[in-house]
Structures are given as structure tokens and as C-alpha cells.
Amino acid sequence: MAVDEKLASQVRSAIQGKGRIAEKKMFGGLTFMLNGNMCVGVNGDNGGRLLVRIDPNRAPELLKRKGARPMDFTGRVMKGYLWVESEGTRTPKALREWVDESAAFVLTLKPKR
């Protein structure tokens, strides 16, 4: 499992205080769970990409952002998830916007144990 540790550390900082956070190995990387629901993940090393869980209704708008593309981990697009390549998370502000976007949606879901 390849994980960009710098990006993972930045995600830890950005997600801190949003709720109950747990880290799990998932989707070939490191996934951050928020209140028991998958929120964001880090996949790849050395400039890895971010996996974000989003409101599926916002996908057309969010796909216009730099570095965003549909998640096709299994060979078909998974609704409600996006990959954000490294060019879309280069600045702390850009990364925080993605984490905030994902957390805002995930906090609307029923918490899991």
C-alpha cells in the first residue's frame, strides 16, 4: 500500500475537530472515517491523490475544479466519490476546501459505530 505521508499528515490536520475520526486501510490507500463513514482518503505516494466522498448532486460542479475526476476504482464510475489529483491539492487552502466539502456531506449521513 503506497501512501503519500505528507498528504496524509495534511489531511489529518484538515479533518481534525470535525467529529470522531478513524483511519483505515482501504481502496489501496489510507482512508479517514468521520463518525464511522468514509470521508476522504490518500492513495499513492510522492504527490498522491485524494479520494473525496461528495454529495452526488454536486458532482458536475465539483468536477470543474482543478485536478478533480470521477472515481473509477473498479473500472466503473462510483457515484458520490471523486479523485483529486495532486495539482488540485497543492496548497493548504485547496486541500482544506476538499476536506471541508467531503466532511460537510458526510456529516449529513447517519453516524456508524
Please state the domain extents for the chain. Answer: 5-106
* pLDDT lower than 70: segments of the chain: 1, 45-46
Q: Which amino acid is at 89?
A: T
SS3 44: strand
What's the predicted TM-score (pTM) here? 0.93
Neighbours of 25 (CB within 10 A): 11
Residue appearing with cell numbers 479533518: 15
Beta strands in 4-106 (DSSP E): 21-26, 29-34, 37-43, 49-53, 68-70, 81-84
For residue 48, what are the CA distances in angstroms to 58, 83, 108?
23, 10, 27
Q: What CATH number matches the domain at 5-106, 3.90.1150.30, 3.40.1190.20, 3.30.450.20, 3.90.470.20? A: 3.90.1150.30
**pLDDT, tens digit (0-9, with 9 covering 90-100), for 20-46:** 999 999 878 899 999 999 999 998 866
Per-residue pLDDT, 46:
64
Of all residues in the chain, what percent carry a pLDDT higher than 90? 81
